[in-house]
Amino acid sequence: MKDSPSPAFAQLANAFTRRRSNHDRKLPPGPEGLPLLGSMVDVRTDALSMFERGRREHGDTVRYRFGPFDMVAIHRPQDIRTVLLERADDFHKSPTYQGLELVVGKGLLTSEDQFWRRQRKLMTPAFHHKRLLGFCDHMVRCSTELADEWDELVANHRGAQLPIVDLHTQLLSLTFRIVGLTLFSTELSDKAGDMGPALATVLEHANHLAVSMLLVPPPWVPTPRNLRFKAAMQVVDDVVQGIITERRNSREDTGDLLSMLMAATDETGQIRMSDRELRDEVATLVLAGHETTAQALTWTFMLLSRHPVIERRVVAEIRAVCGDRPPSMEDLAALDYTGRVIDEAMRLYPPAWLIERQALVDLELDGYSIPAGTLVAISPWTIHRHPAHWPNPEGFDPDRFLPETVAARPRYTYLPFGGGPRQCIGVNFALYEAKLVLATLLQRFSVELVSGQDLSLEAAVTLRPAHGMKMWLRSRA
Ligand code: HEM
């Protein structure tokens, strides 16, 4: 049988054809970049600065060339609304999500059209407010156990200085555990054995693919990197399959998301999700559900450590609302300032720093032609710093999120969770979790940035500290 060209190859060929027919259209302005490569080197070395510089120098609609691909970054709220909401059906996720797809398959994050609609409908009830409230106990218990571990660390610490933890790693483990317990009633870290390092390898590879714009050897070429990824993926797959098989064998309905997915049928009431489909959704939720929230929390702690006055105000609120008992779901509404601090941290450090689409049809945005096939970039990093909507954009000021101030700003100027039909399904899950974790840990500890460390950013699938985040731990007891 004749091999058909790979999707990446077909995309390259299409991109060349489109490039030839672009001369008679009004295309957005943008940097020339290097011959042939365009802005490829810039996006790989410092994408955040590239997008900021592009907006400053060329305006709200900027065209970048990446080899054969054209990418248009948009910043006007009305255009973002068009792409994410009004004409959402005229876009697919961009091919740069293919790296992620190697990891999560065709789960909710990466699937399209009919299949995506079915899965989204199926999963939405699992994220209903009432159900989420039931998860709050797990969130607090896991955070309390981490605080207990920190207590022990402080108690056993010898030496003149305070004990140090890598807060980023610790928060990744914490949110990983919470997702396992809440959505799959599973202690992932027990089952996982080697899952932690394997997941880190898998994620690192997905990140690598995302920033390399697909111009890397395809997965079947046995490069050391591809082989490492394959081995790690096998470990992750075995764990996920183990969870599914165990649940199938026990026939127990625990009422969690996995039970809902297993019980769901199509319109005929006959066809259930295959093990492969279940695996993709489980992997998607484990990944999407822990990475992002851990980044949001890490950046929040970093900002609080740099802004002691704001930190004192958060701690005072936690004391006033919870006293000495651990926070609970009843406190969520009253932890109002804490919520604004998290919102503002996600403005400055949006965990999902780039949302990408590919146009399926020719269209116009901001008076410019956007030919079918163009990649459209929506960068919360840049949009959240747009001086037209955010005075003193680099300043950390949680009161930007007072209700009356929010009401006065146009929508689609703040989009840490995206927007339109593909908006994050876990938005409330994440916000409840972030509040409860922050309140539980801050109630008992203050964390201070260890001085002199390299806090460079890594803008991969999520926005993370490139070298972890070391913090001195000080018990409030
Ligand atoms: C602070 C934490 C989080 C942030 C910043 C975040 C951000 C986002 C963003 C921006 C999108 C849209 C991507 C796009 O349009 O291309 C998204 C989608 C998604 N998120 Fe989140 N997320 C967070 C937490 C969570 C949690 C806790 C879960 C699950 C437990 C989750 C599950 C998902 C899923 C499944 C999708 C795909 C939805 C769809 O396409 O229907 N996320 N997230």
Residue 3 clears pLDDT 60, i.e. is over it: no
Full DSSP string of 327-377 = P-GGGTTT-HHHHHHHHHHHHHS-SS--EEEEESS-EEETTEEE-TT-EEE
Q: Which residue has the tokens 């081995």?
A: 231
Q: What value does the mean pLDDT take over residues 120-134?
A: 87
Residues contacting residue 412 through CB under 8 Å, at least 6 positions apart: 77, 78, 80, 81, 84, 419
**Distance from the CA of 417 to the center of ligand 1, in angstroms?**
6
Which ligand 1 atom is at minimum distance from the Cα of 120?
A: 41
The yes-or-no verdict on residue 203 having pLDDT over 90 is no
Domains along the chain with CATH numbers: 7-475 (1.10.630.10)
Q: How far is the CA of 153 from the centre of ligand 1 (A)?
A: 34
Mean pLDDT is lowest, of 65-69, 112-116, 194-198, for 194-198
- Give counts: helices (H), strands (E), the chain: 17, 12
Distance 284 CA to ligand 1 centre (A): 10
Q: Which residues, in sequence order, are CB contacts of 139 under 8 Å at separation 6+?
A: 178, 182, 432, 433, 436, 437
Structure tokens at 471: 């913090």
C-alpha pair distances (Å), 184 with each of 89, 131, 246, 393, 433: 31, 13, 11, 40, 16
**Pocket residue to mutate for ligand 1, from 181, 424, 461, most atoms within 8 A of Cβ:** 424
> Which helix (H) or strand (E) segment is 208 a member of?
helix 195-211
Residue nearest to atom 7 of ligand 1 (CA): 417
Per-residue pLDDT reduced to its tens digit, 79-92: 999 999 999 999 99
| Distance in Å, CA 166 to ligand 1 centroid | 25
Give nearest CA residue, ligand 1 atom 1: 293
For ligand 1, the distance from its centroid to the CA atom of residue 423, given in whole angstroms, is: 7
- pLDDT averaged over every residue in the chain: 89
Q: Report d(CA 156, CA 106) in Å as an integer.
A: 47
Ligand 1 atom showing the smallest separation from residue 84 Cα = 15
Beta strands in 221-362 (DSSP E): 355-359
Question: What region, left, alpha or beta, does residue 46 occupy, with left being phi > 0 and alpha being psi -120 to 50 degrees?
Answer: beta
Average pLDDT of the segment spanning 102-114 = 91
CA of 120 to the centre of ligand 1 (A): 12
> How confident is residue 5, by pLDDT bands cut at 50, 70 and 90?
very low
CA of 284, closest atom in ligand 1? 35
How would you label 150-180 residue by residue, b for 16+ Cβ within 10 Å and e otherwise?
A: beeebeeeeeeebbbbbbbbbbbbbbbbbbb
CA distance 1 to 263: 39
**Residue range 142-159, pLDDT digits in tens:** 999 999 999 999 999 988
Tell me the two tokens of residue 15.
Answer: 């991109």
54-58, 258-262, 268-272 — most confident range = 54-58
- Do 370 and 376 form a contact (C-beta atoms < 8 A)? yes
**pLDDT at residue 416, as a whole number:** 98
470: left (phi over 0), alpha (psi -120 to 50) or beta: beta
| List of residues 6+ apart from 413 with CB closer than 8 A | 77, 383, 384, 386, 389, 390
Q: Report which ligand 1 atom has the smallest distance to the Cα of 119.
A: 41
CB 169 within 8 Å of CB 210:
no
Would you say 367 and 395 are in contact if contact means Cβ atoms under 8 Å apart? Answer: no
Ligand 1 pocket mutation, candidates 110, 118, 292, 354, criterion most atoms within 8 A of CB: 292
Say yes or no to pLDDT of 2 above 50: no
Residue type, 225: R
Ligand 1 geometric centre to CA of 347 (Å): 16
Q: Which atom of ligand 1 is nearest to the CA of 350?
A: 5
Is 331 in contact with 318 (CB distance < 8 Å)? no
Nearest-CA residue for atom 3 of ligand 1: 292
pLDDT tens, 280-306? 998 899 888 898 999 999 999 999 999
* pLDDT computed for residue 15 by the predictor: 52
Residue 7 confidence class, pLDDT cut points 50, 70, 90: very low
**Ligand 1, atom 27: nearest CA belongs to which residue?**
289
- Distances in whole angstroms, Cα of residue 221 to Cα of each of 98, 211, 216, 235: 16, 19, 10, 20
Measured in Å, residue 178 CA sits from the centre of ligand 1 at 16
- Ligand 1 centroid to 175 CA: how many Å? 14
Ligand 1 centroid to Cα of residue 126, in Å, is 14
With cut-offs at 50, 70 and 90, classify the pLDDT of residue 349: very high
> Beta-carbon neighbour count of residue 225 at 10 Å?
17
**What percent of the chain shows pLDDT beyond 90?**
61
Residues in contact with ligand 1 by the CB-under-6-Å rule are 93, 108-109, 120, 179, 284-285, 288-289, 292-293, 296, 351-352, 355, 416-418, 422, 424-426, 429-430
CA nearest 373: which of 32, 95, 44?
95
User: Residue 187 C-alpha to ligand 1 middle, in angstroms?
Assistant: 22
Whose Cα sits closest to atom 18 in ligand 1? 424
User: What is the predicted pLDDT for the residue at 59?
Assistant: 97
